[in-house]
Structure 1
Amino acid sequence: MLDMELETPQGLRVTVPTQLLYRAQDPLSVEFLFHDIRLGPVPWTFARELLTRGLLTPSGDGDVRVWPTGTGAEALLHLGLSSPHGSAHLTTALKAVERWLCRTYQLVPSDREVEALDLETRLTRFLEEGA
């Protein structure tokens, strides 16, 4: 569990407990599961590569943007999310996300992602949902 800080439109900062999830069966994606007292868990899934690039330089457009600020122990990772229901700007310690992300690459290195894709299960699920 990781605490992220949400900046409200009024400039208030609210701590949002966040679970970072990675599944080897879906090696190209990461999921941030935000725990909201009123709404329950709110998942955001996006490309692991986007998060990786966002640790170093502003990355993404559209509904997910990721960018770093600061240096050393004070470095922050910013996550900009937007949907038809609104937008959110969250921050957290960059190093914490970087450590977690490194563990995902130990589990499934980038050059092995395609091999780790569970295409048969995905195709079966897709075909069953379409029936």
Structure 2
Amino acid sequence: MKISREVHLRHILTSDASLPMTAELRYDTADPYAVRATFHPGAEEAVEWVFARGLLAEGLHRPTGTGDVRVYPARSSEPGTVRIVLSTPEGEALLEAPVRALESFLNQTNAAVPPGTEHRHFDLDAELARILAQS
């Protein structure tokens, strides 16, 4: 089963400037631990990131993530929003997303694969074969 949702967010450039952006969040029960996000910073641009569903869920309530993706609730002056920081060697992007849209997406994924049951949907043999084929 595949789940997809478009989310409208803001790309925070400075404390006074931001740009609207859309992202498509996708979840596939065949890869139950991951969320794929395709960000559209421009009309013809698309940037894809893959990160843990659990990281997104935890970041709605408390700061989480130590690597390329960090998620945390926004300050109380921006209630109902979550900040997502995407880091690369070239720099960082700070995004702000509505909590309700992320919660709705996560609720759909949780209905398909309840948290803690991901291992029942994960085909380790198929994943190993895929990785070895890429080598």
Aligned to 1:75: 80
Shift of 1:81: 1.1
Shift of 1:70: 5.8
Normalised to the residue count of structure 1, the TM-score between the two structures is 0.89
Cα distance in 1 for residues equivalent to 2:75 and 2:104: 17
Note the residue ranges of structure 1 that are not aligned, 5 or more in a row: none
Deviation readout 1:50-89 (Å, 9 max, x if unpaired) = 1111011111112111011367x94101101111121010
Tell me if 1:45 matches 2:29.
Answer: no
Is the 1:74–1:93 contact (alpha carbons within 8 Å) kept by the matching residues of 2? no
Shift of 1:11: 4.2
Task: Tell me how large the CA RMSD over aligned residues is.
Answer: 2.0
Shift of 1:23: 0.9
- Identify which range, 7-16 or 55-64, moves more after superposition: 7-16
Deviation readout 1:20-49 (Å, 9 max, x if unpaired) = 111111111111110133662201111111
Local SS of the residue matching 1:22: strand
Shift of 1:10: 7.7
Cα distance in 1 for residues equivalent to 2:94 and 2:75: 17
Q: 1:55 aligns with which of 45, 60, 63?
A: 60
Local SS of the residue matching 2:57: helix
Cα distance in 2 for residues equivalent to 1:123 and 1:79: 30
Aligned to 1:33: 38
Cα distance in 2 for residues equivalent to 1:45 and 1:114: 18
Letter of the 1:99 counterpart: S
Aligned to 2:24: 19
Is the 1:4–1:90 contact (alpha carbons within 8 Å) kept by the matching residues of 2? yes
Q: 2:8 aligns with which of 3, 7, 12?
A: 3
- Identify which range, 53-62 or 117-126, moves more after superposition: 117-126
The percentage of counterpart residues that share the same residue type is 33
Aligned to 1:114: 119
Note the residue ranges of structure 2 that are not aligned, 5 or more in a row: 1-5
